[in-house]
Structure 1
Amino acid sequence: MTDTNRPPEDGALLSLRGVSKYFPGVIANEAVDLDIRPGEIHAILGENGAGKSTLMNVVTGIYQPNAGNIYVNGKAMRFAAPADAIAAGIGMVHQHFKLVKTFTVAENIHLGWKDMPALAKASEIEARTQAISDRFNLGVHPGARVDSLSAGEQQRVEILRVLARGAGLLILDEPTAVLTPPEARDLFRALDDFRKAGNSVIFISHKLNEVMEICDRVTVLRAGRNVAMHPVTECSPNMLASLMVGSDFDTASRPVLRSDAQAPIGPPVMSLRGVGVIGPNGVPTLRDVDLDLCGGEILGIAGVAGNGQRELGQVISGVLDPTSGEIQFDGQPANGKDAAAFARFGVGHIPEDRIRSGLAPSLSITDNAVLREYNSGALGLGPFFNPRAADALARGISKDAGVVIPDFRMPVRNLSGGNQQRLVARREMRIARRLLVAAYPSRGLDIGAIETMHGYLGDLRDQGVAVVVISEDLDELLALSDRIAVLHEGRNMGTINIEAASSETIGLMMGGENAA
């Protein structure tokens, strides 16, 4: 038994002693000890479902622990609500931002703040926002509407909301999952400044290279328990990966090798000819794109964020109708058909934003697992829906996805981000008889789940399915793809075979140079 009365570490900003959290049929956290020191960035690592987010929800007052004690600066605390944690100087930025999209940056930062002047003018709160931004070296545009910002800019707003309320401990849950490499560099510089001022950061991530680069110490959770804590200087990526999964693990890139039994590359399943898209602001986001998506191959789509990848994924999955050009299924025109028609054709789509585009957060896990097959004979006969069949199908999909679910009736938003991603991926793979569009398929997954995901994509290709992988991770694309197309300002700068591809060549194309 863990001694929950053991005193906190001397000088620790935050200490947990024997913290446990249980849900019906699930041990989320069991007897966790943790110490966060002033002036450190402390990583929390673990596989999907290891209990990382649940533990942080306990620390921030979203959940109440079933056992154990929380100490802040040596004082025992009990947080009945997130406001109590904020008052104690603890703030968290979640994976999925909680901003009011139609408000400005300044309005979001001041929303609900007890120090907000009762009759403040827009110019006054914008000036205060600029001062806060300058203080923490997190550049924002105070008067900009949040819905006009990139993911990286929105994250800065979320961080500033927390820091403006006096947080000395900042908890970041997968902070770089939606950031471009330059945005991640900017975030790391700001976190380093924050640490040097004597504050602390808890950094939850699956990216071992980032942990090795920016963190001082690392705690590893496995099956809800704290299994290790080490200074980062004593660690290696392979060591951390092995601690996470409980066995030896090699983090070296594993290409998804073409199988001898693989179906040969066939004719195009789908073709794009001169496809263009005009965005809501009247600016072209895709320009005269030609692409052939062939069965039996993985086509990687590379590019710096915001160069048309999202729109391309939406066009080839039927979510977005192109403004110009033509889409063809098996040589037949398909313009004007909706996403349901594409699905009937056999197109699956793993979207880049699973919460906004891939799931209905308030609906049950069962409803979300089967929602792409409501019209199939597997779930009923004609207009008659069979709940038992739906439950059985949902259980099968979750088993294939490796997601342990205690209650299929609970809202899907209660699952961890990685488990949501795995559920969406397996659901879409079921209907991808001809084509799978996978946008950032590894986002939010742990290293073991990433390897499993890559294997699934290789299996689909071997079965003769056309697979399109959209990613900003060049290592991932080089390991997975048979060909790689590169987008720059909405144009296809060229499509090259993997044998001729390199990081240097693709990087030049991402910068606007045509393929040789």
Structure 2
Amino acid sequence: MTPPPSSRAGTAVELSGITKRYPGTLANDAVDLSVRHGEIHALMGENGAGKSTLMSVLYGTERPDAGTIRVDGREVNFSGPADAIAAGLGMVHQDFRLFDSLTVAENVVLRAEPRRFGLLDRAAARRRVGELAEEHGLPVDPDARVATLPVGVRQRVEILKLLYRGARVLILDEPTAVLTPDEAGRLFTVLKSLADQGRSVILVTHKLNEVLEGTDNVTVLRDGRVTARLRTSDTTAAEIAEAMTGRRVELERVHPTGAPGEVVLSVSGVRGVDLTVRAGEIVGIAGVAGNGQSELIEALAGLRPVDTGRVELAGRDITHASPAARREAGLAHVPEDRAAVGTAPAASVAENLAMGHHRRRLATRRGLLHPKSLRAHGRALIEGFGIKAPSPDAPAGTLSGGNLQKLVVGRELAHEAPLLLVEQPTRGVDIGAVRHIHDQLIAHRDAGHAVLLVSAELSEIRGLSDRILVMYEGRISASYTRDDADEHTLGLALAGAKT
């Protein structure tokens, strides 16, 4: 395949021979990347392929061991993100860089505040953020505290930060991971408009369809090296997937429906929601971020108090039970925020994989975990879920976002709990891992467990769920069988239309 054309005059960003090593890992191995003015350029690869590391080098948060970076033809040597921002770069990271105690407007304008008489002009900040949110179809309350926002809305705030600064080179790391198809479409409309103005966009993503439909060129990494440079108009999803994985990948899979049995989860009047989930069944909840699905799952998991209503697990009232008591009763939970809620980043991979298992399954000595048992358990799950980690003793915070997601999903499935609450199970996960996680969820269901699934990916909801519920403004607004839930019907329901 002919590589995309590049010339120094038309090149916005050029990385040459970028090499970055960590203890036990060669994250980037002499990587070259060239992005032109007015181009939307996708960067793809499996989890741990080196994508985020490469973008961190470009943005100044990591220093390369070798190689050069040029912006608009001028060689640069960033000592930090401030230098990159000054050079016209902006980046939205996978792990959000927001201050929970500040409002949306304060986060967006931070370090670029509108001022009046030398002080922050809060009215101007709120007005400008509100205008940006409306202009780009990213609804958010400028006065809301970030701590109160679900993950999907926090992503909008990150995107608004970048748009507010008017960067000439926009680096987006999995920007549509928490967006519905309509929201993602509106985002790409914004990106195409920015590209038409001469700005450049580097899009780090695992979503093949959005790459094929919304980008000009794609560079593929595997094990830290470039394996393909392709024009998206001349390639296919299968070709990109093979370049990412080194093998042919079955992209479209239809899972058979389950055989529901007895009711495992019964919810009555909790946050205005009634629902049941049966053994041997996956019930999917679809909804635009901010419509109450995250708060509902937190209430069911014991992370948020239940003021009214009743929650029963296998006939046992757990309405006011602690999270630990719910686990003991047979509940496992994959939270949507894998870093802040799902893991302890400073603890080792093995320690994170043991969480929730340590009281019953792992050998202890005088109340302390036996190191040999801890590592053996960790190695088994690392191998079973393809988690790329230097060793079981490595801090979980050093893993890529996708590998951290595999850690959380693998740990919770290993509980073999009667009820699994799972939010965004494949967010930021590569193609091969998506298939593996989906297979594991189906196997978990077929083993007689109940699964309540929340996902922003309609294809995931439709592909896995036996029944589909739609949440709108905090209520269940529609219910479908899988056969009745085509994307058009679901899309209308997500927007609040009666179907």
Matched, 1:411 2:405: no
Question: How many angstroms does 1:117 deviate by?
Answer: 7.7
Q: 1:270 to 1:388 in 2, by over 3 A?
A: same
| Corresponding residue of 2:425 | 441
Deviation digits for residues 112-168 of structure 1, max 9, x if unmatched? 349978822434752784599499857666555434556565445434544555631
Indicate conservation of the 8 Å contact 1:269/1:329, yes or no: yes
State the distance in 2 between where 1:106 and 1:305 align: 19
Which runs of structure 2 are paired with 1:417-456 in the superposition (5 Å)? 417-456=401-440
Indicate conservation of the 8 Å contact 2:152/2:289, yes or no: no
Indicate conservation of the 8 Å contact 2:388/2:399, yes or no: no
| Corresponding residue of 2:360 | 376
State the distance in 2 between where 1:404 and 1:29 align: 15
Which runs of structure 2 are paired with 1:57-456 in the superposition (5 Å)? 57-113=56-112, 119-123=118-122, 126=125, 129=128, 133=132, 142-147=142-147, 151=151, 154-162=154-162, 164-165=164-165, 167-252=167-252, 254-257=253-256, 265-272=260-267, 274-277=268-271, 287-289=272-274, 291-381=275-365, 383-456=367-440
Aligned residue identity for 1:183: E
Instruction: Please identify, of 94-103 and 179-188, the stretch whose mean Cα deviation from structure 2 is larger.
Output: 179-188
Deviation digits for residues 192-241 of structure 1, max 9, x if unmatched? 22212211110011111111222111111111111111121112222211
Deviation digits for residues 272-320 of structure 1, max 9, x if unmatched? 2x2222xxxxxxxxx141x232212222222333333223322333333
State the distance in 1 between where 2:472 and 2:156 align: 26
State the distance in 1 between where 2:468 and 2:153 align: 29
Indicate conservation of the 8 Å contact 1:138/1:156, yes or no: no
Match of 1:101, SS? coil
Gaps of 5+ in 1: 1-6, 278-286
State the distance in 2 between where 1:353 and 1:176 align: 15
Question: How many angstroms does 1:27 deviate by?
Answer: 1.4
Indicate conservation of the 8 Å contact 1:44/1:203, yes or no: yes
Instruction: Please identify, of 115-124 and 343-352, the stretch whose mean Cα deviation from structure 2 is larger.
Output: 115-124
Match of 1:388, SS? helix
Aligned residue identity for 2:260: I
Question: How many angstroms does 1:37 deviate by?
Answer: 0.6
Aligned residue identity for 1:52: K
Question: How many angstroms does 1:94 deviate by?
Answer: 0.3
Deviation digits for residues 441-460 of structure 1, max 9, x if unmatched? 12111121111111001111
| Corresponding residue of 1:283 | none
Q: How many residues align?
A: 493
Indicate conservation of the 8 Å contact 1:37/1:200, yes or no: yes
State the distance in 2 between where 1:388 and 1:382 align: 15
Instruction: Please identify, of 321-330 and 233-242, the stretch whose mean Cα deviation from structure 2 is larger.
Output: 321-330
State the distance in 1 between where 2:215 and 2:497 align: 36
| Corresponding residue of 2:33 | 34
Indicate conservation of the 8 Å contact 2:105/2:125, yes or no: yes
State the distance in 1 between where 2:163 and 2:491 align: 36
Given the alignment, which residue of 465, 471, 474 partners 1:481?
465
Indicate conservation of the 8 Å contact 1:9/1:35, yes or no: no
State the distance in 2 between where 1:362 and 1:483 align: 38
Aligned residue identity for 1:171: I
Match of 2:18, SS? strand
Aligned residue identity for 2:234: E
State the distance in 1 between where 2:417 and 2:48 align: 30
Match of 2:248, SS? coil
Q: 1:141 to 1:418 in 2, by over 3 A?
A: same
State the distance in 2 between where 1:149 and 1:329 align: 28
State the distance in 2 between where 1:413 and 1:92 align: 20
Match of 2:356, SS? helix
Question: How many angstroms does 1:58 deviate by?
Answer: 0.9
Aligned residue identity for 1:276: V
TM-score of the superposed pair, with normalisation by structure 2:
0.89
State the distance in 2 between where 1:383 and 1:134 align: 53
Match of 2:107, SS? helix
Aligned residue identity for 2:244: M
Question: How many angstroms does 1:10 deviate by?
Answer: 4.4
Match of 2:451, SS? strand
State the distance in 1 between where 2:204 and 2:236 align: 17
RMSD: 2.9
Q: Name the % identity.
A: 41
Instruction: Please identify, of 421-430 and 303-312, the stretch whose mean Cα deviation from structure 2 is larger.
Output: 303-312
TM-score of the superposed pair, with normalisation by structure 1:
0.87
Question: How many angstroms does 1:367 deviate by?
Answer: 2.4
Aligned residue identity for 2:221: L
Q: 1:231 to 1:493 in 2, by over 3 A?
A: same
State the distance in 2 between where 1:298 and 1:156 align: 29
Aligned residue identity for 1:192: K
Match of 1:192, SS? helix
| Corresponding residue of 1:19 | 18
Indicate conservation of the 8 Å contact 1:275/1:324, yes or no: yes
State the distance in 2 between where 1:316 and 1:144 align: 24
Q: 1:466 to 1:161 in 2, by over 3 A?
A: closer
Instruction: Please identify, of 403-412 and 496-505, the stretch whose mean Cα deviation from structure 2 is larger.
Output: 496-505
